[in-house]
C-alpha cells in the first residue's frame, strides 16, 4: 500500500462489502481483515482502500475472490486424525449407545463451516461404519453448512483430489471412493447421507436438537464477542449432553466456557451441561 489507509476508508470498504455481499465484516477482527484486504490489494495492484473500492466497482467478480480470501476454506478428510479417532472410537459409539438405551432413533449431526464437505462426509463414513446394517433403523441427519456457495458446490460433486483424502483409513478409501486416475469420487450412498445448506453463522442457526456439532477452524478470525455468541447458539442448538467439537487452536470464551464440560482436552471435545433449575449448569451423567 503506498498511501496510509484511514479508519474512514476501512469502514467504507467494509460497508461496500456488506452492501454487495451481505457479509458482515464487523464480526471479524480488524487486524485479520486488514491483512486479507492487503492481500487482495496487492493482487489487484490497487494502492489504498478507496482505490480498491473503485476496482471492486469496475470488477464485480473481485467480490468472489475477496470473499474466498476472507473466509479461507482449507480442509481435508479426517483433518487432525487424532480428533477423528476419538470421535470414531469413543464419542459417536457412546452417543449411539445412549440413543439405544433411551429407545431413541433420531440422530442429528451438524458440521458448521464445512467448506467443501470433507468434514461432514468423514462423519458420514464413520456413522455408516458404526451403524452397519442397523443404519436403516435410525433417522440420521448429517448437515453441512457454509457461507461459501462455491465450496458447497464442490461438496455436492463429491469429487476430491488425492491430497484431500490422504488421512482416510485405506479400507474406507477403497470401500467408499472410486479413483478415476485424477480424482477420488465418493459413492452415492455416502453422498446421500449428507445435506448441504448455505448458512452465514453471523445471521442464523441450522436448527435445534443436534446430538453433535462440529465447528472447527472457522471462528479463529471472528471477534471474541462473536465467538461467544456463536458458542452459546451452539449450546442452545444441542440436546442435553450433546457434543461440541472445536478446532485445535480454538477455545471457549466468556459464558460459553461455563456452559460446556470438557470431555477430551487435546481433541477439544466438549459436552453440553444440563441447565439446573435456578440457572446453574451441571455435567451430563453418562
Chain residues binding ligand SAM by CB under 6 A are 71-75, 79, 113-115, 119, 146-148, 151, 199-202, 216-218, 247
HSE-up of residue 197 (Cα within 13 Å, Cβ side): 14
Between 242 and 247, name the residue whose CB sits nearer to ligand SAM: 247
Closest CA to 207 of 152, 148, 141: 141
How far CA 169 is from CA of 1, 74, 262, 279, in Å, comes to 46, 20, 27, 44
**Which CB atom, from 83 or from 238, has the smaller least distance to ligand SAM?**
83
Helix H or strand E encompassing 198: strand 194-198
According to DSSP, the residues that pair with 142 across neighbouring strands are 109, 194
Q: How far is the CB of 57 from ligand SAM (least distance, A)?
A: 24
Q: How near is the Cβ of 218 to ligand SAM at its closest, in Å?
A: 4
132 Cα distance to chain centroid? 26
Grid cell in block for residue 208: 435445534
Q: Phi/psi at 165 (nearest 5 deg)?
A: -110, 10
User: Minimum CB separation from ligand SAM for residue 36, in Å?
Assistant: 12
- Smallest distance from the beta carbon of 79 to ligand SAM, in angstroms? 4
**Other C-beta atoms lying within 10 Å of the C-beta of residue 169:** 17
72-107: string of b/e by CB count within 10 Å (b at 16+)?
A: ebebbbbbbeebbebbbeebbeebbeeeeeeeeeeb
Nearer to ligand SAM, 113 or 242 (CB): 113
To the nearest whole angstrom, how small is the minimum distance from the Cβ of residue 3 to ligand SAM?
A: 29
Q: Please, what is the Cα angle at 194 between 74 and 107, to 5 degrees?
A: 115
Integer Cα distance of 98 and 104 in angstroms? 8
Between 37 and 46, name the residue whose CB sits nearer to ligand SAM.
37
Nearer to ligand SAM, 144 or 242 (CB): 144
Which grid cell is 274? 444440563
**Smallest distance, ligand SAM to C-beta of residue 112, A:** 7
Which lies closer to ligand SAM via its Cβ, residue 5 or residue 127? 127
**Shortest separation between residue 221's beta carbon and ligand SAM, angstroms:** 8
Nearer to ligand SAM, 99 or 264 (CB): 264
Amino acid at each position: 500500500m503506498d498511501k496510509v489507509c484511514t479508519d474512514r476508508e476501512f469502514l467504507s470498504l467494509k460497508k461496500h462489502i456488506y452492501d454487495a455481499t451481505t457479509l458482515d465484516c464487523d464480526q471479524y477482527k480488524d487486524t485479520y481483515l486488514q491483512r486479507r484486504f492487503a492481500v487482495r490489494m496487492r493482487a489487484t495492484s490497487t494502492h489504498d482502500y478507496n482505490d480498491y473500492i473503485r476496482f471492486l466497482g469496475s470488477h464485480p467478480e473481485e467480490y468472489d475472490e475477496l470473499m474466498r480470501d476472507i473466509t479461507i476454506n482449507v480442509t481435508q478428510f479426517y483433518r487432525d486424525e487424532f480428533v477423528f479417532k476419538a470421535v470414531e472410537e469413543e464419542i459417536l459409539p457412546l452417543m449411539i449407545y445412549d440413543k439405544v438405551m433411551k429407545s431413541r432413533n433420531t440422530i442429528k449431526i451438524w458440521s458448521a463451516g464445512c467448506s467443501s464437505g470433507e468434514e461432514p462426509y468423514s462423519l458420514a463414513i464413520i456413522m455408516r461404519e458404526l451403524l452397519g446394517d442397523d443404519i436403516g433403523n435410525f433417522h440420521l441427519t448429517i448437515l453441512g453448512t457454509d457461507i461459501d456457495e462455491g465450496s458447497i458446490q464442490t461438496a455436492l460433486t463429491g469429487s476430491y483430489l488425492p491430497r484431500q483424502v490422504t488421512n482416510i483409513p485405506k479400507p474406507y478409501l477403497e470401500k467408499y471412493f472410486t479413483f478415476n486416475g485424477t480424482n477420488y469420487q465418493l459413492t452415492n450412498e455416502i453422498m446421500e447421507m449428507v445435506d448441504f445448506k448455505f448458512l452465514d453463522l453471523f445471521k442464523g442457526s441450522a436448527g435445534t436438537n443436534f446430538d453433535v456439532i462440529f465447528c472447527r477452524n472457522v471462528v479463529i478470525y471472528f471477534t471474541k464477542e462473536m465467538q461467544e455468541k456463536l458458542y452459546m447458539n451452539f449450546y442452545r442448538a444441542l440436546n442435553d449432553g450433546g457434543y461440541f467439537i472445536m478446532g485445535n487452536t480454538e477455545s471457549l470464551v466468556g459464558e460459553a466456557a461455563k456452559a460446556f464440560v470438557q470431555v477430551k482436552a487435546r481433541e477439544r471435545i466438549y459436552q453440553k451441561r444440563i441447565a439446573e433449575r435456578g440457572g446453574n449448569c451441571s455435567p451430563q451423567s453418562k
